[in-house]
Structure 1
Amino acid sequence: MSERKVVLITGCGKGGIGSDYCKAFAELNCAVFASDVSQRLPDLADLQSDNVETLELDVSSDSSVASAVDLVISQRGKIDILINNAGIGSPGPLAELPLDAARKAYEINALGQLRMVQRVVPHMVACGGGSIVNVGSVVGEVPTPWAGSYCATKAYVHAMSHALRVELKPFGINVVLVLPGAVRSSFGSNNVDRLKDYEWKIYKSFSDSISERAKASQSGKSMDASVFARHVARQVLNSSPPKTIMYGHMTGLFRVLSWSPLWLRDLFFTKRFKLNKVVVR
């Protein structure tokens, strides 16, 4: 590449896939800006290199997003690629999950991505193009029990990305939707930690199953995050990047489930997450 691409990545805290995105794009000689909320900035110190700078960015804050984007533009004059990676889990049964938990996940996972898009797009239009990479999930296509809130935020990302892809085409801006399968990261352990804040009532007898779902993506067969990130980086840097990138462990299963009739999908998840027992009150 004759000209270095400037890449802004959100959600780069230690243990997450974001930090591996930073390393992957840096290895490909991009000028990377790794970002996260203020309390996690110390964790980003290990990422700093000739190709990686760090900055504070809270995707749920209008002012923080504006400051971060303006800083990158002031230093580099452009943002070629935005990686909308920041996100949090929201485990638990929908009928009992506190609305504050669902609201927070929606604010970060869904509106957080749109907030970034709205701030970055004017700069990309002025520069004649760019690429926006929105991180969704296979569960945005096939929602699972005990994670309905999280799945809904990812479904929003999918719908938003498909609309943006057409809306931004006249300006030379590519929109890539990434659908990770099971990729090894700190996501599962963070989910389990969140469950400690809740005490289920009507779903008390399903607590073990709920906990199992919270860490389901972190099995021994989960894809290594560095392998996943390098694959995504190479695809995004293509002259004609793909519209979607589905990659990682269990993507084949979820592809089949997306094609399956609902009764079969329901049967699979009912057995998988032990919802086939009768609760006696």
Structure 2
Amino acid sequence: MPTVLITGCSSGFGLETAKLFLEKGWHVVATMRQPKADILPASANLTVLPLDVTDPDSISKAFEQAGAIDVLVNNAGIGAAVPIELIEPDTARLLFETNTLGTLATIQAILPRFRQSRSGTIINVTSTVTLKPLPLVGVYRASKAAVNALTESLAVEMKPFGVRVHIVLPGRSPETSFGSNAMPHLRGLDNADYKPMIEGMIASFRDESGPVTHASDVAAAIWRAATDPSAPLKIAAGEDAVQWLSEAGRP
């Protein structure tokens, strides 16, 4: 029975992905900062572990407890929507420490095993905001774009060792906690220049009209990356994401 370790399983994409892999008969190591076993179906194939991707000791303990791993899914992340001029230095550090350095840390934890066994798959969940410039998510976008660049190079480095590497790019999703997580870091509503831009952004978060990405879309994309050796490096997840990725590839 293959094993997948997924970070950030407390809600949204990670939770849906854990459910899908359980349904498919995999052993799932669902990790989250504050474990909540009752949010997933009871199963002998489920292991729930605490893991904070910004804490090296937490990563080490979780990977040791997890045992053999066939697929690593880096889904844990944090969002913030705030003008670049106004973002707090601590918020910027938190974005990179979680989204970028946290992903790097878990990759480094698993790579010796994968390289020595000449097998394994790493799937990094980023975002379609990396495909074109958008207001108010500049630093968040930079933290995710850095993961894209890292993953592209990692794919080249790992190819001789038989380790597959993929990027899953979700679009805008009303089913995630991005909006609620981003709100505490919001700055600029008291600024006459930025207020209209920010209010428009808040409205767009709440707008469920038009094509969007569902958590099930992301889970399906991750499943494809994990099980299809012919899957491309970059996989769009969601109707809007497919459109964005297609447009990004045009000259």
Q: TM-score, normalised by structure 2?
A: 0.89
Relative distance call for 1:27 and 1:234 in structure 2 (3 A) is: farther
Which amino acid letter does the alignment assign opposite residue 8 of structure 2? G
Runs of 4+ displaced beyond 6 Å: none
Worse-matched range after superposition: 49-58 or 225-234? 225-234
Q: 2:135 aligns with which of 125, 141, 145?
A: 145
1:100-153 alpha-carbon deviations (Å, 9 max, x no partner): 111101110111100000001111123221000011111112131111111111
Q: Aligned partners of 2:127 and 2:81: how far apart in 1? A: 15
Worse-matched range after superposition: 114-123 or 188-197? 188-197
Relative distance call for 1:205 and 1:225 in structure 2 (3 A) is: closer
Q: Does 1:211 align with 2:205?
A: no
> Within 5 Å, which residues of 2 pair with 1:26-65?
26-38=22-34, 41-42=35-36, 44-47=37-40, 48-65=42-59
Conserved 8 A contact 2:2-2:27: yes
Q: 1:127 aligns with which of 81, 102, 117?
A: 117
Higher relative contact order (CA 8 A, sep 6+): 2
Q: Aligned partners of 1:216 and 1:144: how far apart in 2? A: 17
Number of aligned residue pairs: 249
Offset of residue 203 of structure 1: 2.1
Offset of residue 234 of structure 1: 3.2
Gaps of 5+ in 2: none
Gaps of 5+ in 1: 262-281
What's 1:251 paired with? Answer: 241
Relative distance call for 1:243 and 1:196 in structure 2 (3 A) is: closer
Q: Does 1:10 align with 2:7?
A: yes
3-state SS, counterpart of residue 218 of structure 2: helix
Q: TM-score, normalised by structure 1?
A: 0.80
Matched-pair identity in % = 33
3-state SS, counterpart of residue 29 of structure 2: strand
3-state SS, counterpart of residue 164 of structure 2: strand
Conserved 8 A contact 1:184-1:225: no
Q: 1:102 aligns with which of 87, 92, 108?
A: 92
**Bigger radius of gyration, 1 or 2?**
1
1:152-185 alpha-carbon deviations (Å, 9 max, x no partner): 1111011000000011112111101111123342
Q: Aligned partners of 2:82 and 2:208: how far apart in 1? A: 17
Which amino acid letter does the alignment assign opposite residue 39 of structure 2? D
